[in-house]
Amino acid sequence: MLVKWIRCTVVDRRGFERGQRKWAGLLGEPGFRGQGGGWSRQRPGVAHVFAFWESRAFYDSFMARSHDRLATAQSGTFKDAQARLFEYRFDVKTGFEPRFTDADLIRVALCRIHPERVEHFTLMQEKVWNPAMAGSPGMIRGMFAEAPEQEFLILSMWRSAAEHGKYRTERVERLALRAQTEADVAALSGDIVDLEPSWTV
C-alpha cells in the first residue's frame, strides 16, 4: 500500500474546504483505498491530508489522468505544499485500514534515521513502541511506512485528544529511553491533526 501525506498552509479557508470536498471524485479511481485529513492542533492554518492507494502503479496512473482536474478546485487557496510518498511496512496494533470515521485525531511523526541505525529503529518500533501504543486505551489503529533516504512515517489514529494526551504524559519518555530513540533519529518532526469529517473520502 502507498501512503501520500500532504501538508500545506491554507490562505483561504472557505475556498480550501470547498475544494477539499471535491476530492470525493477519488471514489471511482482504480486502486484508491481512502483519504482523510484535518487541521493541525499546533500550527494555525496548517492542513494535513493522508491518501492511501493499493500500489504505486495505481497512484501514478491517477496522477497522469485525473489529479489535475480534481486539484483545480483548490488552486490559490494554500501555499507551501509539501507532499511525500511512503510504502506501508507494518501495522501499529492490528488490521490497519484507511478508515477515518471512528477517529477524532491523528498523530503523525516523520523520522529521518541515521543509515546505520535503520534496522535497530525498525526493530524498536515493532518491539517497544507498537505494543505500548496498541495497549493504550483510545488508540484505534496505526501504521509504519518507509520512504527513500531513511525516512519513516508513523501514523496513529485516536478516539480523542484526551486519550492521546494520557498516553503521551505517562509513557513517551520512558519508552524513548528503552528504545534508544535518540541514537537512531537524525531528525524528527510531526503534528497532531484534528480530523475534519467532511474531508473523508
Average pLDDT by stretches of 10, the chain with 201 residues: 98 97 95 98 97 98 95 96 97 91 96 97 94 89 96 96 82 88 95 97 97
Residue in this structure with the C-alpha cell 483519504, named with its chain if needed: 35
- Backbone dihedral region of 159: left (phi > 0), alpha (psi from -120 to 50 degrees) or beta? alpha
pTM exceeds cut of 0.85: yes
Give start and end residues of each alpha helix (H) in 41-108: 56-65, 67-71
Please report the pLDDT score of residue 152 as a whole number.
98
Please report the pLDDT score of residue 136 as a whole number.
87
| Residue numbers of the domain that contains 156 | 2-199
CATH of the domain at 76: 3.30.70.100
Query: Nine-digit cell at 139?
Result: 488508540
Cβ contacts of 83 within 8 Å, gap of 6 or more = 4, 5, 6
Work out how many domains the chain is built from and give that number. Answer: 1
